[in-house]
Chain A
Amino acid sequence: MKKKVISALLCAAMVGTMLAGCGGSTGGSGSTAASGDAKVSDDTLVYWSMWEATEPQGKAIQEAVDAYSEESGVKVDVQFKGRTGQREGLQAALDAGTHIDLFDEDIDRVNGSWGTYLADLEDYAKAADYEATANAGLISACRDSGGGTLKSIPYQPNVFAFFYNKDLFDQAGIKDVPTTWDEFLSVCQQLKDAGITPITCDDAYADCMIGYHLGRLAGEDKVKEIVADGKWDDPVVLQMAQDYQELADKGYFSENVGSNVWPAGQNSELALGEVAMYLNGSWLPNEVVDTAGEDFNWGCFSYPAVTKGATDTATGTEAANYGAQVLAVNKDSKLGQEAFDLICKITQGEFDQKLADESNGIPADTTNTEWPKLVECAKPVMESCTTRYTWAVGIESNDDMTPIIKENFIKLMAGTLDADGFVKAMTDASK
């Protein structure tokens, strides 16, 4: 009898432990609300952030959240999920009805992949006169991505352009940045004559060059058409390949361009002053600051305009992939106003500046005119942008082709494939 009682007790304990183990948990790090309760109370504002708590952006956002909580008395539970956590977990959590009021990610992903979960922010923005100090181009980009209405608010803007080492340009006697492809070739030659390797890149960003070049020749819609429908026999593809073959033939690329696995090119070639130019986003100076140092003399110019072989849908230097991270409110949130107020706290005034300063990023608030020194060079490029490309000008829009494009383009840059070979390889691969 005694044994049976003990058995029953042990069994109950086992089941109890298992069920306790299956219980929910708030689990977030950096929570400012009282965590430990299995469920966050309805009056707590839950914010899923794409940053890590230890990143400069995460730290600045935490400060903004703390300030907002103190001023408004609203409890905020910030959960720093990181890029991967956000990408893998947000949609599933929203589908499961998890209490999430506010979240952020890249402008195209939020409005594209998660567009159906977003609340319309037009009324909130109007009431707060938000656009008075917001970057008009980015707000317009948010409206475009949101299907004509404002469903997200931009912060941490970025622009994708050529970043270069001004000291090396000076050393080669280059006075002006190139605005056309011919000027670009001449700059490359001057650098080479001065014994400086003109261009490098890493595998992760290699295909952005093709995207930009094709975008310059024929516009983004054409790039997407080529990639989606396999129209690699289009004359602009051959033109692009010939232009890049010329760069390779003339020795303008780093000899390691065929084997650079990110971040080898940006860290051990560009940041160490061995190579002059690298096509990347305005986050680059911050990414390599530990190697390049605070006193690295950064320059920036928009991808040059290409006229030879251009079509009537060609775009010039006024077009760039510029964008931002965006904050969006869950359409099912009961704390829409509070969420928008927190958005204002993060993206305007003091904390927008703080976010920019601490991450060497670009401020979103137009009254914050002081850009951090490392990215100041991108200001003219950002301000001159009137046409927005999406990421890599759409060259990565067909995920079944991206690795193949990358492989063949890297070979073209490394000189192991010529222009005709590139076109043939791509045409064959897309059959």
Chain B
Amino acid sequence: MKKNKGMIILFLLPAVILFCLIFLYPIMRTLLMSFFKITGVTDSMDMWQFNGIGNYTKLFSTGLFVTSMTNLAKIWLFGGIIVLSISLLLAVILTSGVRGKKFFRAIIYLPNIVSAVALATMWLQYVYSPKFGLLKTFFTKLGLESLSKTQWLDNEHKFGALLIAYCFGMIGYHMLIWLSGIERISPELFEAATIDGANKPAQFRYMTLPLLKGVFKTNITMWSVSSVAFFLWSQLFSTVTADTKTITPMVYMYTKVFGAGNSVTEHDAGVGAAVGVILSVCVVIIFTLCNKFIKDDELEF
């Protein structure tokens, strides 16, 4: 028994050391940094000035940061509803015995393997273009003149434009997670239900959905983590300087830590760290709420 313990420690040690170095140390350091006034990320600790909760109060009294949190909440909520519902619908359709399942699965997943930069360029410079855009052509052909003249990237519509473009790229990924969950359910259960007279919608409502609770939780967690890290699409939709309609906390943090646009602005790594801590707390809250309200261990199949 004693020898076994030694082996366990020996095997665990490298992973534990690496975990502490790569995960635990940065987390603790970031948490600590968020309570100090620090200019550069790599400033030595003797240059740190204790600031209490000053960084947090400053953040919540800064209009732009509040705007960025509001944008993030909207992306998470509205984007989540769009992505999770459409991806679930597509997953159900693909598992219902439709022909060409593999082909459609590949097509729907395709945007995930295309670079986000290329996708954003397509949306910005082609789909939303007020001169020759896809939407302009589409609405003109339908005879909807006022819609065809819409400036999809102006201040009024920019957030929606960003959200649609982002969701387009995310549906395939979440659809695959749903698919794996649905395929785990034994076909015999559906056969039995069919024999008992349950139609497809009833099977979906009373069998598929309850059995997908665990997958639903996974999807919400994955969606939350990717939403909180929302950065690239925001940068692509507002290059050089941030935009009130597309700024997210990650972009705000970047401008505070590395500077904004072409101007030389004051760096504030302490505030940047506080943004990181706030975002982490958001994810933990969402994860805890999911665990509390979505119980996936009631059914065994």
Contacts and interface: CB of A to CB of B under 8 A. Distances in A.
Interface string A370-409: 0000000000000000000011101011111111101100
Interface in A323-375: none
Nearest to B132: A268
Contact of A259 (B18, B151, B261): B151
A411 B155 CA distance: 8
B255 interface: yes
Nearest to A96: B42
B242 interface: yes
Interface stretch (B30-38, B222-230, B263-271): B263-271
Contacts of B242: 402-403
A104 interface: no
Interface stretch (B86-94, B171-179, B213-221, B243-251): B243-251
A109 interface: yes
A120 B131 CA distance: 52
A65 to B, nearest CB: 27
A109 B259 contact: yes
A25 B96 CA distance: 52
Contacts of B124: 261, 264
Interface residues of A, number: 49
Contact of B247 (A14, A256, A403): A403
B263 A407 contact: no
A259 B130 contact: yes
Contacts of B266: 399
Contacts of B10: 11
B62 A399 contact: no
A256 B263 contact: no
A407 B262 contact: no
Contact of B42 (A7, A92, A390): A92
A262 interface: yes
A427 interface: no
Contacts of B11: 11
B245 to A, nearest CB: 7
Interface in A259-282: 259-262, 264, 268
A259 B152 contact: yes
A123 interface: no
Given A113-B267, A262-B239, A403-B247, A91 B42 contact: yes
B259 A258 contact: no
B255 A399 contact: yes
B172 to A, nearest CB: 25
Contacts of B245: 407
Contact of B241 (A88, A95, A207): A207
B236 to A, nearest CB: 9
Interface in B152-194: 152-155, 157-158
A207 B7 CA distance: 64
A7 B41 CA distance: 42
A392 B263 contact: yes
A394 B264 CA distance: 9
B140 interface: no
B244 A91 contact: no
Given A113-B259, A207-B241, A262-B239, A400 B63 contact: yes
A192 interface: no
Contacts of B259: 87, 109, 113, 399
A264 B241 CA distance: 16
B155 A396 contact: no
B221 to A, nearest CB: 28
Contacts of B262: 106, 391-392, 396
B244 A204 contact: no
Nearest to A92: B42
Contacts of B155: 258, 407, 410-411, 416
Contacts of A92: 40-42
A113 B264 contact: yes
B107 to A, nearest CB: 28
A131 to B, nearest CB: 25
Given A11-B10, A396-B263, A256 B244 contact: no
Contact of B154 (A268, A404, A414): A414
Contacts of A207: 241
Contacts of B255: 399
Given A256-B151, A402-B261, A15 B131 contact: no
B264 A256 contact: no
A136 B200 CA distance: 80
B129 interface: yes
B240 interface: yes
A420 to B, nearest CB: 18
A203 interface: yes
A259 B260 contact: no
Contacts of B157: 259
Interface of A: 7, 11, 14-15, 18, 87-88, 91-92, 95-96, 106, 108-109, 112-113, 203-205, 207, 255-256, 258-262, 264, 268, 390-392, 394, 396-404, 406-407, 410-411, 414, 416, 429
19 contacts: A88-B258, A92-B41, A95-B42, A95-B43, A95-B44, A203-B243, A204-B238, A205-B240, A259-B128, A259-B158, A262-B239, A268-B131, A396-B262, A399-B260, A400-B63, A403-B242, A403-B244, A406-B244, A410-B155
